Amino acid sequence: MSSPATGVAIIGAGLSGLTLALALHRQNIPCVLYESREASLDIGGAIMLSPNALKILDALGVYKNISPLGHNFEKLYFHSDDDKPVDDFVFGSQEKHGYKALRIYRFELINVLVSMVREAGIPVEYQKKFDHIVSESSTSVTWAFADGSTASAKLLVGADGIHSRVRKHLYPDLTPKFTNMIGVTAAVPRAQLQADPNYPLPVTIMSPKHAKAPSARARPRWMGRAAEQQGLVHRFSARRQRRLPPIVANAVSNIPLKGINLWPFYLVPKLDTWAQGRVVILGDAAHAIPPTAGQGVNQAFEDVYTFAGIVAKVQQQKPSDDEKEDAARIGKALKNWQQGRQARVDRVLDLNDKVNKRRLPDAVKAGVFEPFDLDWLYDVDFDKMIAEWAA
Ligand SMILES: Cc1cc2nc3c(=O)[nH]c(=O)nc-3n(C[C@H](O)[C@H](O)[C@H](O)COP(=O)(O)OP(=O)(O)OC[C@H]3O[C@@H](n4cnc5c(N)ncnc54)[C@H](O)[C@@H]3O)c2cc1C
């Protein structure tokens, strides 16, 4: 059965979808969330938030609820394999950028967002898997769920992650490419590190060696099997036998199997458009940003805040009698939004390249690094951007 066209329908109640719901609610735009799972996807581990995203979360009332739950810090530290300082990277600064960076468990952030969405009275329908677009008119879009039901809205936003189903409407043949690289992360209690209280954290201790990743074909089976994950834990622990800095040896000395997270790296090519008619994609669905500069979800938060701002601005403009003219107006504003957002994502990709180069063994050996300009990333006026794109 089809329900009547609501304001904005959001596919995916992950970090992008939940935050988008709060951003739209703040602009008095009605929205509904549809999530394929029983609960929002929590792939485990922690994420790091930088001032550009924290400014947005502050405006949405989220920051005050999450700041006490995580580790507030200013710099990421990089050490050599014998635990000597090599480089650092400013991830936040109270004094310079208004916010310290925040490292927080993903489940804590999701829990806060879910409870704020609930308090705002925004409907969330779980176990509703988007399947395909059925039709579009000059005023609404209608789609089908995997269970055969349909629904309609004025706008449909795919916030359904890197393997986005909504993106298939815009790019039917696009499939994300597995890079044969997997990040393996695990959380252990800080006490287990037995580190000096002044030891700088968060730290990355860089190994000059690269581990071999399983083949793309083998990956899904390999990732799913508990026995294989157990093997992975043993491999880590075996490294203790070699000469590793004590902090690393301690960290891997006892990894609970349940605490292991596997993060396969996929690539999505740069997309020409994130909006077609009344269907829009954002967050990981629109741009899968490699993890080097830690900007994946930070950029997703920029997408959702500016998207909600653009929709609100267009709605505030005087409506015309002609539906086609109104549709063209939102189409033009969304094009400006996407181009402006893509320009920032491109700069982040460029920053990723620069950071990657600094991590190469020769660069580490030389120990001479060009300073970064991060002001453009952290000190940004989103409301000004929105006003320009909507004008
Ligand atoms: C280990 C790890 C560490 C990371 N650390 C950082 C970090 O420090 N900083 C940073 O900025 N980024 C980080 N990232 C990247 C960040 O996690 C992603 O950018 C972010 O999760 C993207 O959010 P999203 O909501 O767009 O997508 P997702 O988190 O993938 O959420 C998509 C949601 O849509 C739902 N869904 C999917 N398909 C459908 C469908 N057909 N119908 C309905 N619902 C559907 C899913 O169930 C899910 O709930 C990290 C990622 C990983 C894996």
Q: How far is CA 198 from CA 67, 142, 194, 201, in A?
A: 22, 57, 11, 9
**Which segments of the chain have a pLDDT < 70?**
1-6, 208-242
What distance in angstroms lies between residue 205's CA and the mean position of ligand 1's atoms? 26
- Rounded to 5°, angle at Cα 187 from 186 and 193: 110
How many other β-carbons are positioned within 10 Å of the β-carbon of residue 5?
A: 17
* Segments of the chain assigned to CATH 3.50.50.60: 2-72+100-176+268-390
Q: How far is CA 355 from the centre of its chain?
A: 19
Choose among 128, 156, 125, 124: nearest CA to 140: 156
Ligand 1 pocket residue status of 50, Cβ below 6 Å:
no
Q: Residue 272 and residue 304: Cα distance in Å, rounded?
A: 19
Atom 53 of ligand 1, nearest CA residue: 263
Which of 144, 155, 145, 159 shows the shortest CA–CA distance to 18? 159
Cα of 172 from ligand 1 centre, angstroms:
21
* Whole-number Å distance between alpha carbons of 192 and 116: 34
Give the residue whose CA is nearest to atom 15 of ligand 1: 296
Q: Which atom of ligand 1 is nearest to the CA of 284?
A: 26
Neighbouring CB atoms inside 10 A of 35's CB total: 24
pLDDT of residue 140: 93
**3-state secondary structure (DSSP) of residue 46:** strand
Helix, strand, coil shares of the chain, percent, nearest 5, are 40, 25, 35
CA distances from 317 to 30, 79, 201, 270, 320 (A): 18, 53, 48, 31, 9
Superfamily name with CATH number, domain 2-72+100-176+268-390: FAD/NAD(P)-binding domain (3.50.50.60)
What six digits make up the tokens of 239?
Answer: 């490294």
The C-alpha atoms of residue 91 and residue 99 are separated, in whole angstroms, by 10
Pairing mode, strands 275-276 and 279-281 = antiparallel
292 in contact with ligand 1, CB cutoff 6 A: no
At residue 290, the pLDDT reads 85
In sequence order, the β-bridge partners of residue 153 are 6, 141
CA 161 – ligand 1 centroid, Å: 5
Amino acid identity for residue 260 in this structure: I
Please indicate, yes or no, whether the overall pTM of this predicted structure exceeds 0.85. Answer: yes
